[in-house]
Amino acid sequence: MPRSGVALVLRPLFDRATEYGHYYMGKAAEYASRRMFVRNLGAGDATRDNFEASLVSDDPIFCYLLGHGNADTYSAQNQEIVMRTCNGNESLIGRIVLLLSCSCGIRLGPDTVNKGALTVFCWAVDFTWVATEDPPFDNYARGFFEAVNAISNALVEGRITGEAMSRSMSTWERWIDYWLASDDPYASMVVQHMIHDRDGQRLFGDETVSVVAPGAPPEIITPEGIPLPLPLLTGQTLLLFSLLL
C-alpha cells in the first residue's frame, strides 16, 4: 500500500517547453519536502527506470509527473514513454497523481483511475502557456504553473483532493483577473491560454483523499504574490479594445 507522506516528483528537462515545468515543479518539490519525503527526479534522472524503481522502493502516495503527452501516452526525459492507456498505469494503483502533460485527461487519466489510482489530476486539452523570458524571470508563464502547483501545495498542507482542485481553480481565477486588469499589450493572449488550461483541467477519482497522515495540521502558506491588480474594469475595457480595434 502506498506510503502516506511520501512523494515522487518527475520533472524532465530536455527542451524549451520542459524548462518551465522543470523550474516550477522544483519549487513544488521544495515546498513538499518541508512536510513529506520527496524523491525528486529531475532532468537526466527523470527516466522510466528511475520512476519504476521509486514506485517500488519509496512507494509514494503522491506522484507529480511532468512530460510531453497525448490522450493515451505520458512520456518523461527525452520523450521516453513511461505509460500508455493500456500499459504501465497499473503501477499507480492506490496513488494520487498530478499529471502535467497534454491531453492525458482524455483517456489516460480516467483509465488510470479505473485501474485503481485514487485520484488523477490532468488536462483534457493540450496544456499551453505563454512566455518570453527564461522561467525564473518570465511574468507571463508564472501564473500558469502557480495554478498547477496550487494542487500539490494544497495536498502537502493536508488538504483533500477536492479542496486542492478548488484551490487551483481559485488561483486560475486570480491570475485571469490580474491579466484582465493589466495594460500589458499581450495580456489577452495570456488570458486566452489560461482560460484554455483552466477549462481543460480535470479531477478523476476520489475527491476526499489526502497525501499526508490524517490529522496533520495544515500549514498555512502565503500564496506567491500576484502583483498588485490594476482596476479590473479598466483592464477589461482595455482588453476589449485590444480585441476589437
- Applying CB under 8 A, does 15 fall inside the site for another protein? yes
DSSP 158-204: T--HHHHHHHHHHHHHHHHHHHHT---TTHHHHHHHHHHHHHHEEEE
Q: Which of 83, 131, 151, 203 binds another protein (CB under 8 A)?
A: 131
Q: Which of 132, 170, 208, 234 binds another protein (CB under 8 A)?
A: 132
Q: Which of 77, 103, 119, 149 binds another protein (CB under 8 A)?
A: 103
Q: Coil, strand or helix: which one is 29?
A: helix
Q: Which of 6, 10, 13, 21 binds another protein (CB under 8 A)?
A: 21
DSSP 58-88: T-EEEEEEE--EETTEEE-GGG-EEEETTBB
Kindly determine how many residues on this chain lie close enough to bind another protein according to the rule CB under 8 A.
48
Strand partners, 11: 42
Instruction: Compose the 185-214 pattern: x for residues touching another protein by CB under 8 A, - for all others.
Output: xx-xxxxxx-xx--x---------------
Stretch (H or E) spanning 244: helix 232-244
For the sheet with 96-100, list strands across it: 37-42, 3-11, 60-66, 96-100, 119-123, 201-205
Stretch that binds another protein, among 27-35, 56-64, 213-221, 235-243 (CB under 8 A): 235-243
- Applying CB under 8 A, does 114 fall inside the site for another protein? no
- Residues in contact with another protein by CB under 8 A are 15-18, 20-21, 66-70, 73, 75, 79, 100-103, 126-132, 140-141, 176, 180, 185-186, 188-193, 195-196, 199, 232-233, 236, 239-240, 242-243, 245
